[in-house]
A = this chain, B = another copy of it.
Amino acid sequence: MMDRKPQILDVASELLQTRSFTSFSYQDLSDRLGISKASVHHHFASKEDLLLALTARYRAGQRKKLAELDAQSESPVERLDAYLAWMTELASGGHKICPLGTLQAEFNVIPEAVRADILELFDYAKRWLSGVLTDGLDRGEMEFEGSPTERAVFILSAVQGALQIARAAGPKEFTAVTSQIKLALKPRTEKVSS
């Protein structure tokens, strides 16, 4: 079959998110794809190559998805909601965690070349979310203390941690966190009707 590369990346991505980079092997890929280990190596010579292709795809996916969210709604609250929904979906109901999370958990172990990609993945999300929060502040849809950048890091940390906690302790923990993220941004000044 054609286009083996994306197929391999699909399986590799699932293994990365359910296990970890060190904890999956070419043998695992071989088994699940029904082709030999050598064939996998033909497409991605080394595990480092494979991971680099994976992070490149994550970065492209992230750019595309966040641009879509921006296009679908101008409302900061709705864009944040959509982002949180994306994270839930990405975790596939609780068996996977965030790719960024699993890679950062093994930061000292993974090939050096991918570390820059990991930082960019985080930085891009931080800038995007910071922008959403700034908009929310300007429009009066949100209210919080401290800078939007700090709040963005706060939220990203919580989401990353919550996905890991939820996989171990159940999905209820994740919804608790998304609920709290939204509650903590709600303006306390009540609006008089129109």
Given A154-B181, A176-B153, A184-B144, check contact A101 B19 (CB 8 Å). Answer: no
How far is it, in angstroms, between the C-alpha of A167 and the C-alpha of B109 when the chains are bound? 12
The residue that A168 contacts in the complex, of B104, B158, B162, B180, with Cβ under 8 A, is B104
Determine if A161 is an interface residue (Cβ-Cβ < 8 Å): yes
A153 to B95, CA, bound (A): 19
Restricting to A48-87, which residues have a CB under 8 Å from any CB of B? none
Across the interface, which residues of B come within 8 angstroms of A23, CB to CB?
22, 106, 109
**Interchain CB contact under 8 A, A101 and B157:** no
- Residues of A in contact, count (CB < 8 Å): 50
List of 9 A-B pairs having minimum Cβ-Cβ separation, nearest first: A161-B161, A157-B161, A105-B105, A160-B161, A154-B180, A157-B162, A158-B158, A104-B164, A145-B183
Please, which residues of chain B bring their CB within 8 A of the CB of A95? 108
Distance between Cα atoms of A160 and B150 in the complex (Å): 16
Q: Which residues of B sit under 8 angstroms from A22, Cβ to Cβ?
A: 20, 22-23
In the bound complex, CA of A118 to CA of B149 (Å): 32
Answer whether residue A135 sits at the interface, using C-beta atoms and an 8 A cutoff: no
Instruction: Report A10-49 CB contacts with B as 1/0, cut-off 8 Å.
Output: 0000000011101100000000000000000000000000
In contact, B158 and A157 (Cβ under 8 angstroms): yes
* Bound CA span A18–B128, Å: 29
Question: Which residue of the partner chain, among B104, B106, B144, B179, contacts A146 with CB atoms under 8 Å?
Answer: B179
Tell me how far the C-beta of A65 lies from the nearest C-beta in chain B, rounded to whole angstroms: 20
Could you list some 16 contacts between A and B, CB below 8 A? Answer: A19-B108, A20-B22, A122-B165, A122-B169, A150-B176, A153-B165, A153-B176, A154-B158, A154-B184, A156-B161, A157-B157, A157-B158, A157-B165, A157-B173, A160-B164, A188-B188
**Contact B146–A183 (Cβ < 8 Å):** yes
